[in-house]
Copies of this chain bind each other. A is one copy, B any other.
Amino acid sequence: MVSKQLNSINFFDPVQDLIPLVEERMRQATCDHNPELGLAIDHLLSSGGKRVRPTVALLTGRMLEGDEYHLVTLAAAIEMLHTATLVHDDLIDGALLRRGISTLNARWSPAATVLTGDFMFARAAKLAAEAESVDVMQLFAETLSSIVNGEIAQMFPDDGITNRENYDQRIFAKTASMFELATGAAAMLSPVNEIAIERIRRYGHAIGMAFQIVDDVLDFTGEQATVGKPVASDLRQGLVTLPALYYLEAYPDDPDMAHIRSGTHYEETIMDRLVASIRESGAIQKAMDDAQRYIDQSLEILDEMPDNLERHALEDLANYITDRRL
């Protein structure tokens, strides 16, 4: 559903010619793998979703007249890094969701999953190094560190995580850091100065933050059939996102929220009632307002960029983030 909507939006158009080159570069980078892993990797790469992150990198680079060969390599590195993090995420989520179910074929799979992820991390690093820029490499390594730190923080949640600062850190690590890499590194491969690099990084950061906030809102407002997972799946897994944070701020003494936060076991009816309360409260709108502020920031930054097709596509992309509804 998202995918169809997204593909009909024209912000992919100005770099549509480069996406097959990015996919080719990704395949080349992984073709010498062990045959046993071949199917898994082919599946991971070909099911690769919307290619939003490489598109953002390519749009930024073309907007700033960057070197296209290196931009394609960078875009491949970014998509590979994104895929690698998903692989290890699945293992980590699986380790939680599968608990108690000992019948799963778990003897090989954690090891194979770790190594498949490691393999893709290694290849992502190799691609990033092939962009031949020390600055790109440093930003790439910093981004990888941010992502892993975020996963670690999410694995060891504590009461501290239910505040805005921790939420912001978490969505930066999970989503915005990668968009900042996509825009910043593309600018580093383009003939622009430090100030322009810094600005377009802030654009990437802003759309990334907005993107994750909207995702977290959709987790509450979407219908199960559309989203493909239960409404409020984050909260059901103990993860407090922005709508729940705003609700908690407005109703600090809500007994349902206290019940849910008191432990890992909760009554289903209380959870359903709490989710309904959050959906009906002003928390959803407050979260969307925050997302819109990030989008407004991102559009202001683009105002100072070269006025060309790619800039307009980046504007469309920014606007799409808060416009999408499921």
Contact = CB atoms under 8 A, between A and B. Distances in A.
Interface of A: 32-34, 36-37, 88, 91-92, 95-96, 99, 102, 107-108, 110-112, 114-115, 117-119, 121-123, 125-126, 128-130, 132-134, 137-138, 140-142, 144-145, 147-149, 151-153, 155-156
A91 B108 CA distance: 11
Contacts of A121: 118, 121, 144, 148
Nearest to A123: B145
Given A126-B141, A141-B122, A141-B128, A152 B95 contact: no
B33 A149 contact: yes
A153 B88 contact: no
Given A95-B107, A129-B141, 12 more contacts: A88-B114, A91-B110, A92-B114, A99-B107, A115-B155, A117-B118, A119-B149, A119-B152, A121-B144, A122-B145, A125-B125, A129-B138
Contacts of A114: 88, 91-92, 114, 117
Nearest to A98: B107
Given A34-B152, A138-B129, A95 B123 contact: no
A95 B113 CA distance: 12
Nearest to A145: B122
Nearest to A109: B95
A101 to B, nearest CB: 12
A125 B144 contact: yes
A92 B108 CA distance: 9
6 contacts: A95-B108, A118-B151, A119-B145, A119-B152, A122-B147, A126-B141
A137 B128 CA distance: 9
Contacts of A34: 149, 152-153, 156
A58 B228 CA distance: 54
Nearest to A30: B145
Contacts of A145: 119, 122-123, 126
A125 B107 CA distance: 30
Contact of A118 (B96, B110, B130, B148): B148
Contact of A115 (B32, B37, B92): B92
Nearest to A34: B152
A129 to B, nearest CB: 4
Contacts of A149: 32-34, 119
A155 B111 contact: yes
A77 to B, nearest CB: 10
Contacts of A129: 134, 137-138, 140-141
A266 to B, nearest CB: 19
Nearest to A131: B134
Nearest to A134: B132
A114 B133 CA distance: 29
